[in-house]
Structure formats: structure tokens, C-alpha cells
Amino acid sequence: MYLDTSTVMLLIGAALTLLASGFLHLTYNKYKFKPADNGYTGAEVAEAILRAENITDVGISQVSGDLTDHYDPRSKSVCLSQSVFNMHSIAAVAVAAHECGHAIQHHEEYAPLKFRSALVPYANLGSKLGIPIVLLGWYLGLDFHLSNGSVFSVAQLGIWIFAIAILFQIVTLPVEVDASNRALIILAREGILDGQELKGARRMLTAAALTYVAAAASAVLQMLRLILLNGRRSKR
Ligand SMILES: [Zn+2]
């Protein structure tokens, strides 16, 4: 069977995303039922961390679903999924501490988080409009003729717009890794987890980080694929 380079790129992206999400679910299921000795639930750990960091204006709330945990900077809320909120497993403690890591980043005005938040509206536009503009450009074959004589196609414009969404995925990486590092340092410092439990928490958070790496890699591959296909079209 002959596979075109652009199709291979698409397949690699999909495989990376699937592998990372499968690995996260496996790791999560492993540590979801391993109780941490201290007996604190995710919500209690979040409360203890925010108190230890002197953060008084951030709330803790429960959201539905599995692995839906996040920090909402607009409402200043650490949103924990039901099982993380109520359970005292190593996974629950690790995830709750990670989300508090984001709250601390917000509190300290951590620059990559600020940049990432500023990108959100543009990244949403980029992921919605980028590819349709590229397809429209290919369909209509429209070009802009610049005053310096060079030609810029509508498809190229679409690729640049799509690139903003990719930039967002890339900026997400240091933000996520930093939140996990902060979480592990605090869990050790506050004595919330012991040495062996910390290893489990680190594995859990590394598995979560890998899903962001896979998402960024697959987005970059998608962008390279567009550039490749666009190059082929303009050569015709
Ligand atoms: Zn995160």
C-alpha cells in the first residue's frame, strides 16, 4: 500500500495522541485506587496548599466528568472532577496539587501563563478559521499582490492564522510542566506525600504532561502537512 507523506503525518499525529491518552488513562487507573497515607481528599489537599501559599481569593469547586480537572483564572477557581475532589488516592492528590500549581502561577503572574491566557481568543479563532480559510484559498485560488511585487495567497494567510493555534499548544507545555513541578515540590515540602507516594504522583503528572506534548506535536504535524499540500498546489 502506498502512503503519501501528508497522510503519514496525519497518522503519526493521531497515533501520538491516542498513545498518550491511553497511557494517561492506564496510569490514572493505577493510582486512582492507591490511597495516600495522609487520608486527605483532593479537595482537602487543594485547601491545604492554597493556605500554605497564602492564597485566599481562590475557590475550590467540583466539576462533572473524569480527568476534567482544571484551574479557571476568570472565576479564580480550582475545579476538581468528582473523584479527585472526594478521593484520597495518590492520583487525586497529584491532580489537585497540579491545579493548585496553576492557581499559584496566576497569583505570581507567571509570564508564560499570562501569555497563554492572552492568546486564548486568537487561538480559538485560529483553530476555527485557519483550515477553512486554507480550503477556501485552494478552492478559489485567490492571491494578494503586494506593492513590492510579491504574491501572497489566501491559503498562506489561512496557514498563518492556524499557526496561532499551534503557538498556543506550544506555550501550554512550559505552563503545564511548571504547574506539575510546583505541585511536587509543595507535596514534598508540606509532607502531604511520602517518598514512594511522590514517585507515583510524579508518574501520574508526567503521563498527563505527555498528552500535552502529543497534542502539540500532532498540531505541528498538521501545520507541516498544510504547508506541504499548499506547496504542491502552488507548483501545479
Ligand atoms: Zn494543567
Which SS3 state, helix, strand or coil, does residue 81 take? Answer: strand
Give every CB contact of residue 7 below 8 A, 6+ residues apart in sequence: none
β-pairing, 59-63 with 77-81? Answer: parallel
44, 53, 99, 176: the catalytic one is 99
Per-residue confidence in pLDDT tens, the chain, 236 aa: 677 888 888 899 999 999 999 999 999 989 988 988 888 999 999 999 999 999 999 999 999 998 899 999 999 999 999 999 999 999 999 999 999 999 999 999 999 999 999 999 999 999 999 999 999 988 888 777 778 877 778 899 999 999 999 999 999 999 999 999 999 999 999 999 998 999 999 999 999 999 999 999 999 999 999 999 888 887 76
129: domain range?
A: 5-235
Strand pairing partners for 152?
A: 144
pTM for the full predicted model: 0.88
Rg (CA), the chain: 21
Which SS3 state, helix, strand or coil, does residue 59 take? Answer: strand
H or E element at residue 230:
helix 195-235
Q: How far is the CA of 170 from the centre of ligand 1 (A)?
A: 13
Q: How far is the CA of 145 from the centre of ligand 1 (A)?
A: 43
Q: How far is the CA of 205 from the centre of ligand 1 (A)?
A: 9
CA–CA dist 222, 170 (Å, integer): 14
Catalytic (active site) residue 99? yes
Q: How far is the CA of 175 from the centre of ligand 1 (A)?
A: 7
Domain count, the chain: 1
